[in-house]
């Protein structure tokens, strides 16, 4: 295969997003979960908190913090609210989309 015939990763990804609804749904879910994970990791790192210490501040279990940091699960609305109330992240759920922001940084994820 010649270099001009190679397809970029972005092109391949876009083809899959356009042609495979299951792939598109998983990609969207993954982006949201990653934004939540990054907000939690950033918050903990900036404050030098252990998972247990953050869990105590938020009012959840250490295992929930670990699962969210690893991206093993979609957070519940209750979990998102607790982390937002603790100042870990901002979550905006509106008619035109959902936005997850680190409490200290720019928007990490937006879904329209």
Q: Does residue 17 fall inside a structural domain?
A: yes
Q: Is residue 4 part of a domain?
A: no
**What mean pLDDT do residues 100-108 have?**
62
Predicted structure pTM score: 0.73
**Contact (Cβ atoms closer than 8 angstroms) between residue 66 and residue 51:** yes
| pLDDT per residue as tens digits for the range 31-83 | 888 889 999 999 999 999 999 999 999 999 999 999 999 999 999 999 999 99
- Domains of the chain: total: 1
Mean pLDDT of the chain: 86
Residue 1 lies in a domain: no
Q: Residue 102 belongs to what domain range? A: 9-111
In a domain, 38, yes or no: yes
Asked whether residue 26 is assigned to any structural domain, the reply reads yes
Q: Residue 104 has what pLDDT?
A: 62
Q: What CATH code is carried by the domain that includes residue 94?
A: 1.10.260.40
- Work out whether strand 97-102 and strand 107-111 pair parallel, antiparallel, or are unpaired: antiparallel
In a domain, 3, yes or no: no
- Residue 2 forms part of a structural domain: no
Residue 95 belongs to a domain: yes
> Which position has the higher pLDDT, 60 or 13?
60
* Cα-Cα end-to-end distance for the chain: 38
């Amino acid at each position: 295969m010649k270099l001009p015939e190679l397809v970029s990763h972005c092109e391949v990804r876009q083809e899959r997003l356009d042609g495979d609804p299951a792939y598109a749904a998983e990609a969207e879910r993954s982006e949201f979960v990653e934004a939540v994970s990054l907000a939690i990791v950033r918050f903990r790192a900036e404050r030098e908190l252990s998972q247990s210490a953050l869990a105590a501040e938020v009012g959840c279990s250490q295992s929930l913090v670990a699962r969210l940091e690893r991206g093993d699960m979609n957070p519940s609305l209750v979990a998102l609210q607790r982390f937002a109330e603790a100042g870990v992240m901002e979550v905006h759920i509106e008619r035109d989309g959902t936005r997850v922001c680190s409490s200290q940084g720019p928007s990490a994820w937006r879904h329209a």
